[in-house]
Every structure is written in C-alpha cells, then in structure tokens.
Amino acid sequence: MPRNLELGLNRIFRSRWGVAIIIVAIVLAIVGLGRLLSGGGSSSTPLGAGSPAPVVSADPKDDDSVIDTAPPPSPKTSKGRAQPEAVAYAFASAWVDHRNVSSKTWRDRLLPNSTKELGDELDGVDPAGVPADRVVGRPTLVPVSATVVNAVVTMDTGKLSLRMICPDGPWVVDGIDWAAT
C-alpha cells in the first residue's frame, strides 16, 4: 500500500491541477481555522455602512474670522493723481502701440505708468511680440486692498491683466499678464 500512496501523491504533485487543488485546500483550511479561533462571527462594520456621523463641536453661526465677508476697500488715490482706471487705460494704450517703433521707444512710453522693476523687466523686449493691436474696452478693476488693484483691459485679441500698486502717491503698473481669447 505505501507504494500505491507514493505513486498517487507523485501524480498529484506533478500535474498543475493537482498542485492548484492542494493550494486551494490549504487556503480554505487556514481561513476555516481562523474563523473557528475568532468565534466565527464578524465584528467589523459591514461594507457600505460607513463611519458614524461626525460630531459638530462649534456653532456655525459663530464668527471665526477666517473669511472676511466685508467687501475689499476701495482703492485710495492721492489728491491730484490719476485714478487707477485712467492709469490702466494709458498703460494698455501704450502697450498696444508697438508697430514701427524700436524697443527703447516702446518701453519709454510704458515707463511713466509702471514701476522701475517692471521697466527693468521690459528692457530689451521686442515690441513686435505684443499679441494685440488695439484696446476695445474700458478697464475693469478688482480691488485687492486700498493700495493694490488688479485691472483687466479687453483688447482685440484677448485680455491684458495689470497688477497695479499705489505705494506712495500715483498708481503704477507692477505686473502684466496676457490671456488670449
């Protein structure tokens, strides 16, 4: 009989199906043994039941001062100085006046309405790369604070966004961004 047992086991372990059946039997034995030792019941939350509802510990009506609901302050303009809309329009008009002018001439037209830092950034810029030819709308202002404003000027081929500041007197353009339409 031992010889028959040896041949039978040899046949089982040499075939793929035999090995697969033995592995499945071992896995089922381990799972069954684990259930027997744990009491057989499932103590975990069933799928889809989720976690318990969160407990609210703060009154939502209380002001936590994280979000300021007050409108941003109006831009302040020194007496006798140009309003930010006028400065944005003048800068945008000079920006699109780029045909048949040198880089220096084009930049010099922008300097009266820009910061020194922006003027330095525009030094050597080729005005032929300006993607618009004319201003078609009035500037719209989005106040950030009393001394910082974002102005958006509609052009014939997109929108020119200008970051404007008023550090000590006149409003000047501090940054430029372009969005094609």
Parse the chain into domains and list their residue ranges: 2-35, 84-180
State yes or no: pLDDT of 50 exceeds 70.
Answer: no
Token duo for residue 150: 């974002």
Q: Which residues, 6+ apart, have CB-to-CB distance to 132 below 8 Å?
A: 95, 96, 155, 156, 157, 158, 160
Q: How far apart are the C-alpha atoms of 108 and 131, rounded to whole Å?
A: 19
Average pLDDT over residues 154-169: 93
pLDDT at residue 43, rounded to an integer: 58
For residue 32, the tally of other CB atoms under 10 A from its CB is 11
Say which CATH topology domain 84-180 has.
Nuclear Transport Factor 2; Chain: A, (3.10.450)
Convert the pLDDT of each residue in 71-127 to its tens digit. Answer: 777 788 778 889 999 999 999 999 999 999 999 999 999 999 999 999 999 999 999
pLDDT of residue 47: 59
Q: What pLDDT score does 164 carry? A: 96
Residue 174 · residue 118 · CB < 8 Å: yes
Per-residue model confidence (pLDDT) at position 153: 97
- pLDDT value at residue 56: 63
* Per-residue pLDDT, 4: 83
Confidence check: pLDDT of 41 > 60? no
> What per-residue confidence (pLDDT) applies to 49?
60
- What pLDDT was estimated at residue 113? 95
pLDDT at residue 127 in the model: 94
Mean pLDDT of 134-156: 93
Q: Which pTM value belongs to this model?
A: 0.62
pLDDT given at position 146: 86
